[in-house]
Amino acid sequence: MHNVDFVIVGVYLIVMFSIGLFMKGKAGQSITSYFIADRSLPGWWVGLSILATTFAVDTPLAVTEFTAKGGVQANWFWWSWVIGYIVVAIVMAKRWRRAHVLTDVEFIELRYDGAYASALRAFKALFLGVLLNGFMLGWVITAMTKIADPFVQWSALSPPLFELFSYWPSWLLINDLNTTITVILVLLIVMVYSAAGGIRGVILTDLFQFILAMGTAILFAYFAVDYVGGLGAMHEGLAQLKGDSYDDFTNIIPTTDSTLLPFRLFVIYVLIQWWVRWDSDGTGYIAQRFQTARDDQAAKEGGLWFAIGFAALRAWPWIIVALCSVLVFPHLDDPEMGYPLMMKRVLPIGLLGLTFTSLLAAFMSTVDTHLNWGASYLVNDVYLRFLSPNASSKQAIKASRLAVFLIFIVAVIFASQMTSISGAWIFFINAASGLGIAQLLRWLWWRANVWTEISALSTGFITTVALQQSVYPITNLSSDYHLVIIAGITLLVCLTVTYLTPAPSQAIVNNFQARTNPIGFWPSANIKQPSIKNYVKDIMLALGAAYGILFGIGYCLMLHSLTGSLFLVLGLLCTNALIRSPEKHKKTQSL
């Protein structure tokens, strides 16, 4: 990069740092203000904040690898998640907001009772806040090293700094010394503004970061297509390169005889993967964002903003760059590197710096959320619940900022031990599938108890490790197919355990039902059950909106203009119907 590019990066970092310091006063008012912004945000802001968090720097790299290896249709690995996000938005968002908890782990003692519920709360706070959070931050940081490495060379930029870091422990190197310096400096800035500004600082920077990241991703895709001679030339080049497999490579929906994405695997993605994900009920930072909403309706609107934007806005700029990278760099050993190498090859001075800054923004918007989210568990569910229940607000805020620093250290340790982003994704999806099953059951069935969650979590993890280590005699199946085995075994085990262990007390069940009015199998006849018909209608409209726009843009880019136009019309009609839905005008206390 040139000097002007580095100036752009520097200005951006100063602005983000300043926002965090600016929000320090409001963040320090109370623990509720620090972690959930006093439950005051409108729906659109909630949704864009979640969307910015999921627009991580690892995502374009993983999408580039998926597309280069498996064609456009390989992206069904994550397109299928949209189904789950829509169900969460329409069915779960209001209920999370009504639960009125600061974290989803606090929810455990609202849903279950007894000493085991308290123990599970403490365990999940540490498991989600430290172990799982560190794992996710590790793969995001791994992606950042691949972005930064081709552009930033500290031995030339600042020899004294490079020399100072030569004392850095070798076992904590993140890729190499050069990228370690870049990552540590950026993480320090994120840690400071996250610790200072709390969730308000995180969400305010998220808004700016998403606009920057999305805008430059579109510009990057334009320059990539222009570099290969235009959209038509891109397809001609791919047809020559791929030969008879070109149609399969550029198909959006796989055919039954696809060799790149077997149709049975597509079915697994669409019918199974989305509901066994660890956040299948919105658990994690999504539930935290729902708590920041000013009311129930704002939580639902935020969920829909996120779910539809996740599909409709993000996918195609990355996929188009990935397709261009296949033409320009057809023999890369690491296809993930196609994205940063295309940046270096096609972007002019200034725009290169802006695009690098946008990926830095994507990285920071994910890291700041995870730092704040992880700290909320350590403070609300460990420190205030077990260690110092009578701590003052000032002490709690101090503990929160120390917790952010602790999560920062954990993230660096995890990142130093991780290499493959897409590999980490797949292991994580499989191992955490037990969490998703149990967390859905607790909303749907009154009898779900502490042991439902414990058995599901342990079974999912043990089965995943056993399959990867070939303990089971199923060595010829890919890890994607393992998901079906893991989900089946986990569901069987946790249902059996639930039947064999005591149900929650009637008082707990009644209180939970009165507060959240869950759907499914619940005993109280005094509470009106929600209308499943209305939920199904809204879910179908939201699916039509999300996938209609996704397919519409995609088919146009694949040069099937008529098909694309029809899907776009469908998507826009469904979006309009969803906006005009009578549900939008109901009071926030409605079902």
pLDDT tens profile 42-58:
999 999 989 888 887 77
CA distance 151 to 343: 10
**Ranges of each domain in the chain:** 3-431, 538-591
Q: What are the CA-CA distances from residue 126 to residues 418, 435, 475 (Å)?
A: 21, 15, 33
Per CATH, domain 3-431 is 1.20.1730.10: yes
- Facing residues of 521 across strands? 445
Residue 15 CB burial class (10 angstroms; 0-12, 13-18, ≥19): exposed
Could you tell me which residues come within 8 angstroms of residue 588 by beta carbon, excluding any fewer than 6 positions away? Answer: 94, 295, 296, 297
What is the three-class DSSP state of 293?
Answer: strand
**Nearest CA-CA partner of 50 in 274, 291, 273, 398:** 291
Mapping DSSP to helix (H, G, I), strand (E, B) and coil, where does residue 521 land? strand
Residue recorded with tokens 């007390």: 505
Using an 8 Å Cβ cutoff, are 50 and 289 in contact?
Answer: yes
Please tell me the distance from the alpha carbon of residue 512 to that of residue 524, in angstroms, as a whole number.
11
- pLDDT for 53 equals 83
Low-confidence ranges of the chain (pLDDT < 70): 27-28, 418-433, 469-480, 524-527, 529-530, 582-591
β-partners of residue 293 are: 41
Contact 171, 416 (CB under 8 A): yes
Q: Give 132-145 pLDDT, tens digit per residue.
A: 888 888 878 887 88
- CB 365, CB 52: distance < 8 Å: yes
Q: 266, 225, 315: which is closest to 559 by C-alpha?
A: 225
Q: Which two tokens stand for residue 354?
A: 């802006």
3-class secondary-structure state, position 41 = strand
The CA distance from 429 to 436, in Å, is 10
Q: What pLDDT is recorded for position 585?
A: 45
First to last CA, the chain: 54
User: CA of 97: how far to CAs of 130, 291, 337, 508, in Å?
Assistant: 24, 5, 41, 18
**Amino acid 308: pLDDT:** 93
What pTM was estimated for this model as a whole? 0.88
Position 47 scores a pLDDT of 92
Dmax (CA) for the chain in angstroms is: 73
Instruction: For the chain, give the number of residues.
Output: 591
Region of 173 on the Ramachandran plot (φ > 0 left; ψ -120 to 50 alpha; else beta) = beta
| Residue 502 pLDDT | 93
